[in-house]
Amino acid sequence: MAATSRGITKSLLPSAKSRATIAKRLAAVTGAMTTATIAEMESRHPWFSQLGAEPRSWITLVARAGIDGFVRWFSDPDPDGPSTSEVFGSAPREMARKISLSQTVELVRTTIEVVESQIDEVMPKGDRPILHAAIDQYSREVAFAAAEIYARAAELRGSWDARLEALVVDAVLRGETDETVLSRASTLGWRSTSAVVVVVGTAPEADQAHALETIRAIAARAKVDVLGAVQGDRMVVVLGGPTLADAQEAVAVVAGFSTQFGPGPVVVGPPVEHLMEAATSTRAALSGFRAATAWPEAPRPVGSDDLLPERALSGDGHARRTLARDIYDPLVAAGSGLLETLVTFIDQGSSVEAASRALFVHANTVRYRLRRIHEVTGYSPTDPRDVYALRLALTLGRLIRPTL
C-alpha cells in the first residue's frame, strides 16, 4: 500500500484501485463543480463581478485547474504530496498584479467549499469521508503554493521597482524630467504636485535598501512622497509634499531620517514647485554636498542655502549670483546708508561704538541700521556665521555689479 499523505489516515486511505474508481466518478462532475464555483464567486464576492472579462477567464482557468489537479492527485497510486504548480502555472503572470493575495485566498476558499458541497451532493456516501479528508489536505497545499507565488511576484516587483526608481532619480539629477519620467514616478507612488526638494548625502556602507525603506516609512508618516537611489558613494532622496514649501520645514523633515545616511554631510536643496523643476534643487544640493567639507561644524542636515559662502568659494556660479542678488542688491536698493554701515561695522570688528564714531552717527542709529540690514537681507550682522556670508556677498556684489 502507498505511503500515507498528511491529512489522510491509514484507516481512510483505500487501495490505489479504489481511489482510481472514486477519481473516475469525481472526474465526471468536475465541469459542474467549476461552473458552481464561478457562480458562487459572483454571488459571494463583489470584486469578482467588477473584474474584466480577461481576469475572470483567468480565475475560471485556475478554478478548473485546481479541481482537475485534485482529481489527478487523488488518483495517483502514491499520493505522497500534491503537486500544485500546475494550478497556478495555467494562469498568466499578470494575474498576480490584477488579483491580490487576499482575493486569491478567497478564490481558493470558495472553490474548496463548493467542491466539498458538491461531494456531499453528487458523490456516493461511501466516497465522501475519504474525499473530504483529501480535499482538506489538497487545499492546504494550494494555499501554500499561492502564498509562494505572490511572494516571488513581490520580490520580482521589488527588484523591478528599485531599477525603475534609480532611473527616475538619475533623470531628475540630470535635469531630464519629462512626461515619461513623471509617468514612471507615478507608477512608483509619486503623487505630489507641489514643493519638491532633493537631498544628497553619503550612502550607508551596509544595507542600503533597508535605509531607503526606512526613509520611505518615516517620510510617509510626514505625508511626504519619496524617490530614492544610491549612486556610487552617495545616496539621493527626492521628496515631495506641500509641507516642504518652507525650506526650514524641509530640513526638519529630513532631520527625521538623516541617520539613515552614511557619515558626512546631508544637504537639502531649496524647494521648487514641481518635479519637472527638481534640477534646480538638485544642482544646489550637489554643490552644497561638495562644498560642505569647508564647514565641518555645519548642522546635519543642512540647507544648501546655508552653504552659499562655501559653494561660492568652490566655484559655484549660481551661489555667487545668489549672494549678490539676495544680499548686495537689496542693500544698495534700500539706501539709507545700510551698505556703508554694514561695511564700516564689519571693518570696525563688529563694534557698534567704533562704527558710530567712524560714521559720525549715534550708536543707536547704527543699531537701527543693523536691524534693517537683517530685515532686508535675512542675515544678521551680529551673527558670526551670517557676517561671513555678508562679507562675501559684498565682495561678490562689487565684482559682479560694479556699476551699482
Instruction: Evaluate whether 65 touches 90 at the Cβ level (below 8 Å).
Output: yes
Grid cell listed for 316? 559655484
Q: Give domain status of residue 310, yes or no.
A: no
Residue 396: which residues within 8 A CB-CB, separation 6 or more? 312, 320, 323, 324, 328
CA angle centred on 168, ends 162 and 169, rounded to 5°: 90
* Rounded distance between C-alpha atoms, residue 171 and residue 181, angstroms: 7
User: What's the number of domains the chain is made of?
Assistant: 3
Could you report the per-residue pLDDT of 291-308, keeping only the tens digit for each? Answer: 999 999 999 999 999 999
* Rounded distance between C-alpha atoms, residue 246 and residue 223, angstroms: 15
* Domain co-membership, 40 together with 138: yes
* Rounded distance between C-alpha atoms, residue 361 and residue 348, angstroms: 14
Say if residue 393's pLDDT is above 70.
yes
- What is the number of other CB atoms lying within 10 angstroms of the CB of residue 206? 8
**Mean pLDDT score of the chain:** 80
Average pLDDT, integer, range 50-62:
79
- Which pLDDT value is given to residue 261? 93
Which of these, 257, 268, 265, lies nearest to 196 by C-alpha position? Answer: 268
| Helical (H) or strand (E) element with 196 | strand 196-202
Q: Give domain status of residue 309, yes or no.
A: no
* Domain co-membership, 341 together with 280: no
Q: Residue 230: which CATH number?
A: 3.30.70.2730
**Which residue range is the domain that position 353 belongs to?**
317-400
Please state which of the ranges 179-183, 205-209, 225-229, 283-287 shows the lowest mean pLDDT: 179-183
Q: Give domain status of residue 392, yes or no.
A: yes
Average pLDDT, integer, range 350-360:
91
Say if residue 396's pLDDT is above 60.
yes
* Domain co-membership, 333 together with 282: no
| Helical (H) or strand (E) element with 200 | strand 196-202
pTM of the model: 0.59
**More reliable by pLDDT, 235 or 87:** 235
- Which pLDDT value is given to residue 145? 60
Strands 302-303 and 225-231: unpaired
Please state which of the ranges 99-103, 107-111, 182-186, 356-360 shows the lowest mean pLDDT: 99-103
- Which pLDDT value is given to residue 157? 46
**More reliable by pLDDT, 10 or 80:** 80
Say if residue 404's pLDDT is above 70.
no
Q: Give domain status of residue 63, yes or no.
A: yes
Please state which of the ranges 11-20, 66-75, 350-359 shows the lowest mean pLDDT: 11-20
- What is the number of other CB atoms lying within 10 angstroms of the CB of residue 241? 22
* Rounded distance between C-alpha atoms, residue 138 and residue 37, angstroms: 17
- Which pLDDT value is given to residue 99? 67
Q: Give domain status of residue 335, yes or no.
A: yes
* Domain co-membership, 48 together with 81: yes
* Domain co-membership, 70 together with 26: yes
* Domain co-membership, 28 together with 113: yes
Which among 263, 286, 309 is the end of a domain? 286
Could you report the per-residue pLDDT of 3-19, keeping only the tens digit for each? Answer: 444 444 444 556 777 77
Grid cell listed for 9? 489516515
pLDDT band with cut points at 50, 70 and 90 for residue 48: confident
* Rounded distance between C-alpha atoms, residue 159 and residue 154, angstroms: 9
* Rounded distance between C-alpha atoms, residue 233 and residue 262, angstroms: 9
**More reliable by pLDDT, 166 or 144:** 166
CA angle centred on 39, ends 33 and 41, rounded to 5°: 100
Which of these, 107, 295, 304, lies nearest to 200 by C-alpha position? Answer: 304
30-44 helix and 101-122 helix, angle to the nearest 10 degrees: 130
Q: For cell 526613509, name the residue.
A: 215
- The pLDDT > 90 percentage for the chain reads 35
- Which pLDDT value is given to residue 2? 39
Burial group, residue 263, by CB count within 10 angstroms (0-12, 13-18, 19+): exposed
Could you report the per-residue pLDDT of 215-269, keeping only the tens digit for each? Answer: 888 988 888 988 888 888 889 999 999 999 999 999 999 999 999 999 999 999 9
List, as one string, the DSSP characters of 135-167.
HHHHHHHHHHHHHHHHHHHHHHHHHHHHHHHHH
Say if residue 82's pLDDT is above 80.
no
Cis-peptide, bond into residue 265, ω within 30° of zero: no
**More reliable by pLDDT, 107 or 82:** 107
- Which pLDDT value is given to residue 110? 80
